[in-house]
Amino acid sequence: MAEKERLDRQTIALRVAKEFQDGDVVNLGLGIPVLASNFVPAGREVIFHTENGALGFGEITLPGEGDLDLTNASGQPVHPQPGMSFFGQAESLAMMRGGHLDISVVGAFQVSEKGDLANWATLEKQLTIGGAMDLAEGAKRLIVAMSHTTREGQCRIVKECTYPLTALECVDLIITDIAVIEVTNQGLVLKEFAPGWTPEEVQALTEPALVIVPECQEMTLM
Amino acid sequence: MPINKIVGSFDEAVADFFDGATIMVGGFATVASCPSFLLQALARTGVKNLTSISNTGGFGPDIWAIQGYKVTEDIDILARNGMVKKVIVSAPASIMLENNLGRQIKAGEVEWERVPLGTLTERIRCAKAGIGAVYVPVGSGTVIQEGKETKVIDGKVHLLEYAIHADFALIKAHKADRWGNLTYRKATRTVNETMAGAARVTIVEVDEIVELGELDPEAIVTPGVYVDRVVQRPKDIDESIAKDEREVDSRVTESHRKFMETWKGKAKKEG
């Protein structure tokens, strides 16, 4: 099969941001997720949370601008905005673990068909846990944003995770560069596929069987 | 005698650290909330075999200098000087950039106790609050559960997580008075606030020491009861830091370039 065009990182982030509803409190993990803060639909009021201890801050500043005492968890300065609050890490993690965040978006190495998440370590590297396990435990809705396969073409959506687990049965939605897949009790439901792709082509790059519902459609990005 | 927790120098503040001590060190992803001057003073003592508790493993001063931070030393200074034998750290290394602690853990030179960020924070808070241990659901079914007592609470497996005690806590705050009352600036409370009072001795590095009564009681985040020693950073950071002529590590430059490209890509899209 010839290489088909996949969504780039920015476009995956744009699709992620479509999930944010008015009033949602949202935590964005490193990588693709953090880019989603720039694509919140106009007029929608979303409160962003960061592990280091802030809620309700604005967009990432331009490089070289901003206050270095006001950064997100990736260390990027963000704009202050009305309604913003500061707190310590204990409070911040309590919000995460205690189910006070509506949506967490995280990157992943693997997701299983039951929604098990592996996103803190590979088989070779086990050197950063951070808030990944706390987020996975506590988020009301956990969205994974990742590329559908590894660079070598291996499936990241698998029957059983082979990488070290972050948490069991925690993922609700998977948004990749070729598909949007919901984790349900009936299995993985293919909701959307990237422009130019077919459900069968997505299935071919997904280890577990996908449930293909009549509503399954091409991704709309705007 | 009036209460006075102010110490005249960073070296004096860490003079009683000893080989084999257990220390907590504040900070988060960036160097902004790190007790940088205290860490430098600690490195000068040359103590060894420390057990260190912190959020991250640090990346060293190069990465922070590139980003415009004036005070650039993070907890990497301990690994870089071979002062650590064990760490209890949530994110000792990053996928973005290799660091000294990551290398030492991989090489088996330093023992790493793995801990999720929230569990780390609560275990520190337990020590501060006089609680022996807490049941936490995070990490059940993962490597974090290995060897731990468990209990099913509300249908969920919880892990028994013990308090982490330490000899010293090194933290960073914004302002202090001579009683040790502390305020923080913007998003820099991080774990500093939790570590204050969690160790036998809490030592604070601040930007500014103010007169007793100047801090608004409603704005004090850490009451002085948790604090033992306070040291002020030099007033003029630019002049106090010796000009550093060393070459920036090329790996640091490269990883930072990639990071900035992602960041700029976003700006371009908007602009």
- With beta carbons under 8 A apart, name residues in chain B contacting A60: 263, 266
Q: Where are the domains of chain A?
A: 1-105, 108-122+148-222
Question: pLDDT value at position B241?
Answer: 56
Q: Cα separation of B6 and A207, whole Å?
A: 62
Q: What fold characterizes domain A108-122+148-222?
A: Glutaconate Coenzyme A-transferase (3.40.1080)
pLDDT of B225 over the 80 cut:
yes
- The verdict on domain A1-105 having CATH code 3.40.640.10 is no
Per-residue model confidence (pLDDT) at position B271: 38
Do A135 and A104 form a contact (C-beta atoms < 8 A)?
A: yes
pLDDT reported for residue A69: 96
CB B79 within 8 A of CB B93: no
Q: What is the pLDDT of residue B262?
A: 62
Tens digit of each residue's pLDDT (9 = 90 or more) over A125-135: 767 899 999 99
Q: Which residues of B touch A75 (CB under 8 A)?
A: 29-30, 67
Interface of B with A in 201-220 (CB under 8 A): none
Tell me the C-alpha distance between A85 and B161, whole Å.
Answer: 29
Interface TM-score (ipTM) > 0.90? yes
Residue identified by tokens 């409370």 is: B189
Q: What is the pLDDT of residue B244?
A: 52
Global pTM?
0.92
Q: Compare CB distances from B187 to A9, A70, A126 and report the shortest one's residue.
A: A70
Distance between CA atoms of B217 and B229, rounded to whole angstroms? Answer: 20
pLDDT digits over B136-171, tens only? 999 999 999 999 999 999 999 999 999 999 999 999
User: How far from B44 is each of A27, B152, B200, B224, B228, CA to CA, in Å?
Assistant: 39, 48, 22, 27, 21
Q: Which of B28, B63, B185 is the best residue to mutate to test the A interface, defined by the most A CB atoms within 10 Å of its own CB?
A: B28
**Which residues numbered 100-119 in B keep a CB inside 8 Å of some CB on A?**
102, 105-106, 114-119
Residue B160 host element (H or E): strand B156-162
- Matching fold, domains A1-105 and A108-122+148-222: yes
- Give the pLDDT score at B261: 67
A91 included as an active-site residue: no
Using 70 as the pLDDT threshold, list the residues of chain A that sit under it. 1-2, 126
Question: Using one digit for the tens of pLDDT, what is the confidence trace for A149-189?
Answer: 999 999 999 999 999 999 999 999 999 999 999 999 999 99
Domains along chain B with CATH numbers: 10-243 (3.40.1080.10)
Interface test with B, best of A74, A93, A170 (most B CBs within 10 A): A93
CB A168 within 8 A of CB B141: yes
Q: Of B68, B105, B119, which has the smallest distance from its Cβ to A68's Cβ?
A: B68
> Which one from A3, A19, A45, A51 is the annotated catalytic residue?
A51
Give the count of beta carbons closer than 10 Å to the beta carbon of residue A219. Answer: 18
